[in-house]
Amino acid sequence: MSKREILFVEAIREALREEMRRDEAVFLMGEDLRIWGAPLGQTKGIWDEFGDKRVLDTPISEMGFIGAGAGAAALGSRPVVELMFIDFFGIAGEQIFNQAPKLRYMFGGRMKVPMVIRTLIGAGMSAAAHHSSSAYSIIAHMPGWKCVIPSNPYDAKGLLKTAIRDDDPVMYFEHKMLLNTKGEAPEEEYTIPLGEAAIKREGEDATVVALAWMVHKALKAADTLSEEGINIEVIDPRTIVPLDKKTIINSVKKTGRLVVVDEDHERCGLSAELSAIVAEEAFDSLKAPIKRVATPTVPIPFSPVLEDAVIPNEDRIIKAVKEVTSYKASK
Amino acid sequence: MEINKEKLLEMYRGMFVIRHFETKTKELFAGGKIPGFVHLYSGEEGVAVGVCSALRKDDYIGSTHRGHGHCIAKGGDVKYIMAELYGRETGCCRGKGGSMHIADFDVGIMGASGIVGGSIPLITGAALHFKYKETDQVAVAFFGDGATNQGSFHESINLAAIWDLPILYVCENNKYAESTSISSVMRVKTVADRAEAYGVPGITVDGNDVVAVYEAASDAVERARKGKGPTLLECETCRHHGHFEGDSGTYRTKEMVEECKKRCPIKRLGKFLEDEGFATKQEIEDIEKDVEREIAEAIEFADKSPWPKPEDALKDVFVTPYY
Amino acid sequence: MFEVTMPKLGLTMKEGKVVTWYKKEGERVEKDEPLLAVETEKITNDVGSPVAGIVKKIIAQEDTVVPVTETVALIEEAGVVESADEPEDRGDERKPLGKMKQVVETPSVKNRVSPLALKIAKDHNIDLSEIKGTGLGGMITKNDVLKLVGSTVQVPSEQVPSEIEVTETVEMSLPRRKTAQRLAQMHRETPHVTLTTFIDFTDIVKIRNRLKEMIEKKIGKKLTFTHLIAKAVSMALKEFQDINSRLDENKISRIKDINLGIAVDVEEGLVVPVVKNAGEMSLNELVTRVSELMDKARNKNLALDDITGGTFTISNLGTFGVDAFTPLINPPECAILGIGKILKRAWVVNEQIEIRPIATFSLTFDHRIVDGAQAARFLQRIKEILENPKEDFK
């Protein structure tokens, strides 16, 4: 494979373009996709290539067009619908929670809904409480959505292509802090299967599971920790539905310690889910209690100082890792 | 749109199938055979049959919680629908949907919905698919008067209007949103008035005149097929029973219900057919007997069908196996 | 064509002077675009075009003074010009939004007819295109058709009426058709009223008996009651000019001459020969003329002049054994008198029952021309003349 670096946002555009060229059934739908090219340029240039028919600008009617996307998918189209920010899910809640993901089941498995929703997540830009959520835990909690949360351009492209080809509803989460990060991605055609975690760094002292922006923070923390002789294994699940439990469990069995770094809220969130899985399935391997580094269950605040205070950062990760690696059971 | 003896008798049969199905469903529900919620369609048959008679098999409908009528009118097999109401393995949704979630994509039933207004965006998406694929299929959204106060209705009809989607928005105005009189929660006089806000034709017809519904729907279907966009078709009707089985119905007087029953679309068509020389009493009775036999067979089929296996509860969430 | 008028530009403005036309004939003008400048006593105003279109004609040239509301130019309306990059035309029905909202109780159903309605319409030769159906879907029902038939025929619901056996179908003759058209038209358009009275023929019978032989000897013709009635009617008409009149369009024309039409049944049907100037004729002359016309009618020798120009008509069906009937006005005449059979009846005269020859006279008149009271007086006058015949009949 050729070596080449591209931006995360380019990876998204490439995946969309390639899938639209490959399959006539794929079209884009959402707010401001044509002239703006989506708020952060994720669809820039696609309208120029594919025209009005395949890039639909919608009114600001999330419930209407997400439902319409599901309906079109139910009959064989493969719409890639953009929900501008995940924070808007409540507007379309009926279609996101009650319709799109339940149709196949309600109708006895006799149909399918091959729709992708792309949506922006994450804090870090002082976008405040209505534009900074992660919220994938809520989506993953409800039956019927596959959830893809890439952390780098390579994964972003390969996973988006897979998501578009998948026959089920897939929610694809784009972290806004990552869109302008660069990474290697070959020009050649490739896809990444859903449900395969990536081991971003091998280590033996503790397992750190992180997603999206948090992967980068975990890796920086790992650098710092290695200087102190602590080697952590960083695992990026990449998709949380389906979830590659095996890679996580195997890692914990090796390290005996788990820190879950999660930008989503702590209460009933993904960090709790991962902790529970490990507690259930690798209890005997644990040498220390599981630690969670998650965003407290408060709305994401506006002021940079306040925002920094709630979003997991390197220091909190380092602190948590040190706690689990230095843990001594009190008898 | 030919309207001749055959078409009229077909519509009579269609309405009578629904009525008899619902009458039996009421009995079976009361007898404990059918679990869950049941919302009966009796009294509104003119709407489903009038509209679906104007459709092709490859056209699609989106239905509601009160959906048995739509699904039967669109060509759903009463055997599999009844089995679904029974919650059996042989049901059209393998017992996973029940009364409120009947679907059969093979005959264009995109599915009923338990949420008021919930299926409107989905069936609008079907119309989007038809337009995208450049087929000449048409979609029909069925919903009640209550749903026209849902955002999903307004968002969807606006999308269909701006994109000229091939769809009919068919409002069954039975005057009650569950127990609430529509006039107390809607300031405009008719649901059709709402169409103007979206630049869409709005038409009100007597929903208990199946021929009138058929005529109006045919016009709208033709418009849609020709790419001229959606129509809001309001059919004024009334239901014979409560919102759901078990509804005390205290928001309507006995007289109002009696008055409604007098407007029965089936009796009206039957009398018309006889009075006007379209059919003899004998021909009509023959149809009714045939329908009664068909429903009896459906009930027997449902009753004898196996229950689904408990482990199947985990199947069918995803196309790929359950995670 | 839209008429641009001199606008009233101020509370007191009565006229204005056209100072400048900003557009020439044939030029396009948009709505509200300045079209002309108007000078009033106070100020010069630019007047925007009330519509978009092409200026077809400038009526008030520059420097002419025009009263307020008078036309100054004509514009052919032509809507708004779409700019080239406007989205494609979405079809006409999308445009007039106001008309989109329609509440249709029965959608347009053309030529939708139930089998029974169709059958009845065919039997009665009824044009279905005029009927608005009231059945399901606006279909035309048997009752819709029966209403037009004007029949109270009860059609049993399960049955289709049996075929009516037609022995022969004959095209209407031209005169028959003309009569039919004229009568149908009269019936549709004329508000007509019929007044009826009984007339005691005792004295007229006596007179007839007295004069019969004499007239026959003198002119060789048989005196009939029709002659005598014609004489009496002519006399009465002289006094009732309003009835001796015709209605054309909105004008009532009172006619000087009394031209009396007498309906007669001949082989082809009804003809109405007209006795011109009957008012000036003696009984002898009248008998002579009537007899001549009757002969001509029977021999199909009537000239056009013999059957036109009538001002009043008498129709005697008494000879056919009819006791009373309501005659139809022969348009454009004002009235017609129908005469029934002279019948011997028990009649109260001076508190005694006597046997008297009585006939029923029915006067049908056009209520647009005369009122009931006037017509009644006219009928009473005929009665008076016939019941108390004087020297006129000699």
Domain boundary among C148, C169, C190: C169
DSSP for B43-89 reads: T-HHHHHHHHTTS-TTSEEE--SS-HHHHHHTT--HHHHHHHHHT-T
- B109 in contact with C, Cβ within 8 Å: no
Q: Domain A5-184's class?
A: alpha beta
- B97 in contact with A, Cβ within 8 Å: yes
Residue recorded with tokens 């569950």: B178
pLDDT for B259 beyond 70: yes
Domain of C133, CATH number, reads: 4.10.320.10
A neighbours by CB contacts (3+ pairs under 8 Å) = B
Residue recorded with tokens 């032989």: C213
Strand-pairing partners, residue C336, are C313, C364
Instruction: Write out pLDDT tens, residues B17-50.
Output: 999 999 999 999 999 999 998 999 999 999 999 9
Residue B293 token pair: 């036999």
SS3 of chain A: the string is CCCCEEEHHHHHHHHHHHHHHHCCCEEEEECCCCCCCCCCCCCCCHHHHHHHHHEEECCCCHHHHHHHHHHHHHCCCEEEEEEEEHHHHHCCHHHHHHHCCCHHHHCCCCCCCCCEEEEEECCCCCCCCCCCCCCHHHHHHCCCCEEECCCCHHHHHHHHHHHHHCCCCEEEEEECCCCCCEEECCCCCCCCCCCCCEEEECCCCEEEECCCHHHHHHHHHHHHHHHCCCCEEEEECCEEECCCHHHHHHHHHHHCCEEEEEEEECCCCHHHHHHHHHHHHCHHHCCCCCEEEEECCCCCCCCHHHHHHHCCCHHHHHHHHHHHHCCCCCC
Specify the fold of A198-324.
Rossmann fold (3.40.50)
| CA separation for the pair B314, A105 (Å, rounded) | 9
- A172 in contact with B, Cβ within 8 Å: no
Q: Is C366 a catalytic residue?
A: no
Is B152 close to A67, i.e. CB distance below 8 A?
yes
Residue C189 token pair: 């358009």
Strand-pairing partners, residue A235, are A199, A209
Task: Give me the pLDDT at residue C78, please.
Answer: 78
Task: Taking residues A284-292, report their average pLDDT.
Answer: 97
Same domain, C110 and C146: yes
Strand-pairing partners, residue B62, are B141
Domain of C320, CATH number, reads: 3.30.559.10
Same domain, C377 and C233: yes
Q: Which of C63, C257, C295, C371 is catalytic?
A: C371
The number of distinct structural domains making up chain C is 3
Same domain, C160 and C182: no
DSSP for C25-48 reads: TT-EE-TTSEEEEEE-SS-EEEEE
Same domain, C152 and C226: no
d(CA B133, nearest CA chain A) in Å: 8
Domain of C34, CATH number, reads: 2.40.50.100
Contact by Cβ (8 Å): A11, A156: yes
Residue C256 token pair: 């000087």
Is A108 close to B110, i.e. CB distance below 8 A?
no
Is B275 close to C141, i.e. CB distance below 8 A?
yes
d(CA B70, nearest CA chain A) in Å: 16
Is residue C100 a part of any domain in this protein? no
Task: Taking residues A210-222, report their average pLDDT.
Answer: 98
pLDDT for A318 beyond 90: yes
Strand C352-366 with C335-339, pairing: antiparallel
Q: Which of C123, C295, C367, C392 is catalytic?
A: C367
For C151, other C-beta atoms within 10 Å of its C-beta total: 12
Strand-pairing partners, residue C153, are none
Is B276 close to C107, i.e. CB distance below 8 A?
no
Task: Taking residues A309-317, report their average pLDDT.
Answer: 97
Domain that holds residue C32: 2-77
Residue A131 token pair: 């534009």
Q: Using CB atoms, which residue from A53, A101, A111 is nearest to B105?
A: A111
- B210 in contact with C, Cβ within 8 Å: yes
Q: Which of C89, C97, C101 to mutate to test the interface with B (most CBs of B within 10 A)?
A: C101
Which amino acid is it at B206?
D
Is B318 close to A104, i.e. CB distance below 8 A?
yes
DSSP for B223-270 reads: HHHTT---EEEEEE---SS-SSTT---TTS-HHHHHHHHHT-HHHHHH
Is residue B322 a part of any domain in this protein? no
Q: Using CB atoms, which residue from C100, C138, C158 is nearest to B280?
A: C158
Residue C290 token pair: 């009537």
Is residue C99 a part of any domain in this protein? no
**DSSP element (H, E) containing C264:** strand C264-266
Is A106 close to B101, i.e. CB distance below 8 A?
yes
Query: Which sequence spans correspond to the domains of chain A?
Result: 5-184, 198-324
Is C142 close to B219, i.e. CB distance below 8 A?
no
Between B265 and C124, the higher pLDDT residue = B265
Is residue C10 a part of any domain in this protein? yes
Q: Is C371 a catalytic residue?
A: yes
**B109 → chain A, closest CA residue:** A107
Is residue B313 a part of any domain in this protein? no
| CA separation for the pair A131, A112 (Å, rounded) | 31
Domain that holds residue B83: 5-306
**C105 → chain B, closest CA residue:** B205
Tell me if A5-184 shares its fold with A198-324. yes
Contact by Cβ (8 Å): C358, C341: no
Same domain, C114 and C231: no
Phi, psi of B240 (to 5 degrees): -80, -25
pLDDT for A6 beyond 70: yes
**DSSP element (H, E) containing C76:** strand C71-77
Mean pLDDT estimate for chain A = 96
Same domain, C37 and C6: yes
The number of distinct structural domains making up chain B is 1
Domain boundary among C120, C154, C169: C169
Task: Give me the pLDDT at residue B323, please.
Answer: 56
Closest by alpha carbon to C361, among C347, C345, C380?
Answer: C380
Closest by alpha carbon to B240, among B265, B215, B223?
Answer: B265
Is residue B320 a part of any domain in this protein? no
Is residue B316 a part of any domain in this protein? no
| CA separation for the pair C217, C222 (Å, rounded) | 9
Chain B window 125-154: which residues touch A at a Cβ cutoff of 8 Å? 125-130, 132-133, 151-152
Chain B window 271-290: which residues touch A at a Cβ cutoff of 8 Å? none
Question: Which chain B residues touch A146 with a CB distance below 8 Å?
Answer: 318
Task: Give me the pLDDT at residue C252, please.
Answer: 83
Is B316 close to A69, i.e. CB distance below 8 A?
no
Q: Using CB atoms, which residue from B195, B268, B276 is nearest to C141?
A: B276
Closest by alpha carbon to A173, among A77, A270, A73, A48?
Answer: A270
Domain of B275, CATH number, reads: 3.40.50.970
Is A59 close to B155, i.e. CB distance below 8 A?
yes
| CA separation for the pair B204, B216 (Å, rounded) | 9
- A75 in contact with B, Cβ within 8 Å: yes
Q: Which of B64, B94, B132 to mutate to test the interface with A (most CBs of A within 10 A)?
A: B132
Is residue B323 a part of any domain in this protein? no
pLDDT tens track, chain C, 394 positions: 888 988 877 656 778 889 899 998 888 888 888 899 888 765 778 888 888 888 989 999 888 888 888 899 999 887 654 444 444 444 444 333 333 334 433 333 345 788 888 888 888 778 887 788 888 988 888 888 888 775 444 454 455 555 666 777 777 766 666 667 777 877 777 888 999 999 999 988 888 888 888 888 888 888 889 999 999 999 999 899 889 988 877 788 888 889 999 988 887 677 889 999 998 888 888 999 998 898 888 887 777 778 888 899 999 998 888 999 999 888 788 999 999 999 999 999 888 899 999 999 999 999 988 899 999 999 999 999 999 887 667 5
Phi, psi of B296 (to 5 degrees): -60, -40
Same domain, C8 and C120: no
Is C107 close to B216, i.e. CB distance below 8 A?
yes
d(CA B237, nearest CA chain A) in Å: 27
pLDDT for B281 beyond 80: yes
- C83 in contact with B, Cβ within 8 Å: no
Task: Give me the pLDDT at residue C392, please.
Answer: 67
Question: How does C207-233 read in b/e, with b if 16+ C-beta sit within 10 Å?
Answer: bbeebeeebeeeeebebbbbbbbbbbb
Contact by Cβ (8 Å): A266, A260: no
Is residue B41 a part of any domain in this protein? yes
Instruction: Write out pLDDT tens, residues A90-110.
Output: 999 999 999 999 999 999 999
